[in-house]
Amino acid sequence: MNNDHEKENAAIASLDYVTHDCILGVGTGSTVNYLIENLDRVKHKIKSVVSSSVDSTRRLQSAGFIVEELSTVGKPDLYIDGADEVDSSHNLIKGGGGAHTREKIVASASNEFVCIVDDSKLVTRLGAFPLPVKVIPESRSLVARKIVSMGGTPIYRAGFVTDQGNHILDIQDLDISNPEAVEVLLNNIPGVVDNGIFAFNKPKTVLVSK
Ligand code: 5RP
């Protein structure tokens, strides 16, 4: 299914949330790429830009933006990002692009998080999309065994290395009926850097395009 038009519509709708003198946090992924392509429309309102990945930084720079470090700008006013799944309480699964650690950091640091998705991302319960868990390479098999003991089926994302040099296990069959509990439980496994559940850093606003 090609949802490019819907992704672009959601991205364009989010431009309304950019206010004057905005410090903007920018997520990662194909929906956000449409945001970056259209960001020129509100450039006059943007004070500075913070990125969540090497790929988004490169795209932002190509579009003429100077990308600053989160530590330098402090608190972004707004964070805009996509998602792989969104439930009715705005809990998310993210990390299809493997950038969820930095995404969660910028989301957490920001005053407001607006999520942009097409309606194929809406779910009643999280978990059909394999949940990305980022691990330091040495811990991969330990983490995989712990996840199996929790009822999950971990699949190693072969050949993929994150911006920070870590690996990803994509987890199927896990019961995510309590997203907050699962987010905490997974992050307590030694060697897990972060997992793709956004239950503690979820968006106030989800813009859905059909
Ligand atoms: C990257 C992400 C993306 O937001 C998520 O994968 C959605 O991507 P897309 O907009 O390409 O469907 O979490 O780590």
Query: Distance between CA 170 and CA 64 in Å, rounded?
Result: 35
**Which residue's CA lies nearest to atom 6 of ligand 1?**
96
Residue 32 CA, closest ligand 1 atom number = 10
Residue 33 CA, closest ligand 1 atom number = 10
Query: Distance between CA 162 and CA 87 in Å, rounded?
Result: 26
Lining residues, ligand 1, CB within 6 Å = 27-31, 81-84, 94-100, 103
State the angle between helix axes of 4-14 and 30-38 in degrees (0 to 180), rounded to the nearest 10. 50
Given this model, what pLDDT does residue 1 score?
55
Q: Which residue has the tokens 């503690």?
A: 200
150: CA distance to ligand 1 center in Å? 25
**Which residue's CA lies nearest to atom 1 of ligand 1?**
97
Given this model, what pLDDT does residue 210 score?
87
Exactly one of 8, 85, 103, 183 is catalytic; name it: 103
- CB under 8 Å to 45, separation ≥6 — which residues? 18, 19, 20, 21, 22
Structure tokens at 139: 């811990």
Query: Distance between CA 61 and CA 68 in Å, rounded?
Result: 11
31: CA distance to ligand 1 center in Å? 7
Q: Is 68 a catalytic residue?
A: no
Determine contact, residues 192/199, Cβ cutoff 8 Å: no
Query: Distance between CA 9 and CA 208 in Å, rounded?
Result: 9
147: CA distance to ligand 1 center in Å? 23
**Which residue's CA lies nearest to atom 5 of ligand 1?**
83
Given this model, what pLDDT does residue 136 score?
98
Per-residue pLDDT tens listing for the chain (210 residues): 579 999 999 999 999 999 999 999 999 999 999 999 999 999 999 999 999 999 999 999 999 999 999 999 989 999 999 999 999 999 999 999 999 999 999 999 999 999 999 999 999 999 999 999 999 999 999 999 999 999 999 999 999 999 999 999 999 999 999 999 999 999 999 999 999 999 999 999 999 998
- CB under 8 Å to 149, separation ≥6 — which residues? none
Residue 7 CA, closest ligand 1 atom number = 10
Q: Which amino acid is at 16?
A: D
Given this model, what pLDDT does residue 110 score?
98
71: CA distance to ligand 1 center in Å? 24
